[in-house]
A and B are shown apart, each in its own frame.
Chain A
Amino acid sequence: MRYMAKNIAVIGDSESIKGFCAIGLDIYPCDSGEECAHLLRRIADSDSYAVIFLTEELFGQVEKERSRYEERLTPAIIPIPGVKGNTGIGVKRLLSFVEQAVGSDIIFND
């Protein structure tokens, strides 16, 4: 097993993410989807981050960029709710994994 030391990045609107700065994560304030796409590509390709948290709002806007990193071990790109509240993208994403694997939604259809 090989080990690499990497950091955690948070991308989102500055209101949602400034708290993460205080606890020692790297933050990248960003407001538009286009800006976020560039930013994501830059920091994901730099290969110094193991996890990149994106606010849900931006997460939905950078689908194309995200798909480039799906097959790779790192970075893990994970949606988190911002100050504007929870849009349910995170759970929907899990659901889409189940659908991809099983062929239909068998767990969450309650």
Chain B
Amino acid sequence: MAIMNVNPTRMQLSKLKKQLTTAVRGHKMLKDKRDELMRQFLDLVKEARQLRDKVESELASCNAHFVNASAVMSKQALDASLMSPKQQVTLEVGSHNIMSVETPVFTSSTRTSDEGDIFPYGFAFTSFELDDAVMSLQRLLPDLIKLAQLEKNCEMMSAEIEKTRRRVNSLEHVMIPRYRDTIKYISMKLEENDRSSRTRLMKVKDMLLDKAHNYSGH
């Protein structure tokens, strides 16, 4: 039994009782927060996993296209075709609050109005493999951005869940039992004091009666 180092007084007792109610209420709320965070987190993780599988397999096929393209074209020609991009992708970063966790929201926009306007080279001297590669990568981009957002959310939420879980556990297994034990200890101590002063009074009364009337209570 772990009790706090406090004086066994009525003041302390009422203070501790107040603290216990706060702790119990806090514990309940944090537990609810943890459960809700966990529910949303598990959904997010599942979604992220599916999206990652998809993105990884598509990225592998993009890479295969690039390898094919580099097989037909010279390295210099390939680099020259790719290195002067026509398009620029920018992300608007907003934030979304999930159970007090600030998570980013990415919305993408492109520099030119036509999103399909991607090929930064003329078609005359490049292979069609390269067109395929660039096009499939372009199609994959929204998924990549979505994946980045999902995984960042997962990362931030898992940290928050860990923190909340620790708080819940420390309240449940350390703080609340300690408050309960201390309250019990103080109230027992007070009762004990009460009993001892009562017996003392009875004893004194007996002695006084004895002295005044030569009369014993028993």
Contact of B159 among A21, A22, A71 (CB under 8 A): A71
Known: A21-B83, A101-B38, A107-B46. A80 touches B144 (CB 8 A): yes
Given contacts A4-B92, A73-B102, A81-B59, contact A98 B134 (CB under 8 A): no
Binding-face segment, B16-24, B62-70, B182-190, B202-210: B62-70
Residue from B87, B93, B144, B158 in contact with A74 in the complex, judged by beta carbons closer than 8 Å: B93
CA separation between A32 and B161, bound complex, in Å?
35
Chain B interface residue bracket vs A? 35 or more
Q: Provide the bound-state CA to CA distance between A70 and B151, in Å.
A: 11
Q: Which of B25-67 contact A (CB under 8 A)?
A: 38, 41-42, 45-46, 48-49, 52-53, 55-56, 59-60, 62-63, 66-67
Q: Mark A20-56, 1 if CB is under 8 A from B, else 0.
A: 1111110000000000000000000000001101000
Cβ contact of A22, chosen from B48, B111, B120, B158, cutoff 8 A = B120
Query: Hey, which chain B residues are within 8 Å of A5, CB to CB?
Result: 90-93
Q: Is A61 an interface residue (CB 8 A)?
A: no
Q: Is the CB of A6 within 8 A of B91?
A: yes
Contacts known (A8-B89, A23-B137, A83-B66); A97 close to B94, Cβ less than 8 A: no
Complex contact B87–A19 (CB within 8 A): no
Distance of A86 Cα from B156 Cα, bound (Å) = 25
- Whether the Cβ atoms of A93 and B151 lie closer than 8 Å is yes
A103→B41 CA distance, assembly (Å): 13
Contacts of A4 in B (CB 8 A): 92-93
When chains A and B are docked, how far (Å) is the Cα of A73 from the Cα of B93? Answer: 9
The answer to whether B52 touches A91 (Cβ under 8 A) is: yes
A90–B144 alpha-carbon span in the complex (Å) = 13
A71 to B152, CA, bound (A): 10
Task: Contacts A23-B137, A100-B159, A102-B161 known; list 7 others, CB within 8 Å.
Answer: A18-B83, A23-B141, A24-B85, A50-B91, A53-B144, A93-B151, A97-B158
